[in-house]
Amino acid sequence: MSDGSPRARRGPAEGGPERLYVVTGGRNRPAERVALDLVALIVARGAPGPGAHPEQAAIRRMCANPLSVAEISAYLSLPASMVGVLVGDLIDGGQVEVRAPASAAAFPEAAVLEAVIDGLSRI
């Protein structure tokens, strides 16, 4: 039964603010040269090696296929700001790369999609 205290409301993956502070070295933003937003796609450049922080190793494993910062945050149950710091460190180390998400220009126009849907519905 929860007593309503902050410690009682935490999820098991969070580990509390102390854990987040230790994992990120007290930082709450990635390095200035790393421009990350929630839709930036992260792709690992290989499997994690021994001695990697558990959170960074998890990010590298799950990013064998591109994942956004928001998805990584959700899967790890960690704040997006913390994921940004961890991903920034991985970028600095050359262990992951950032890919820009597909722009709206890369998708067909709405009229084309409607014509395809109409054609499929007639079949």
- Do the Cβ atoms of 87 and 96 come closer than 8 Å? yes
Which residues contact residue 30 at a Cβ distance below 8 angstroms, ignoring those fewer than 6 apart?
Answer: 36, 84, 85, 87, 88, 89, 91
69-76 and 54-62 helices cross at what angle (nearest 10)? 120
Mean pLDDT by groups of 10 residues along the chain of 123 residues = 44 56 64 74 87 87 93 90 88 88 68 86 87
Cα torsion 41, 53, 80, 68 to 10°: value is 10
Instruction: Report pTM.
Output: 0.64
Categorise residue 94: left if φ over 0, alpha if ψ from -120 to 50, beta otherwise: left
43 DSSP 8-state letter? E
Q: How far is CA 64 from CA 8, 38, 71, in A?
A: 34, 18, 13
Instruction: Provide the 3-class DSSP secondary structure of residue 27.
Output: coil
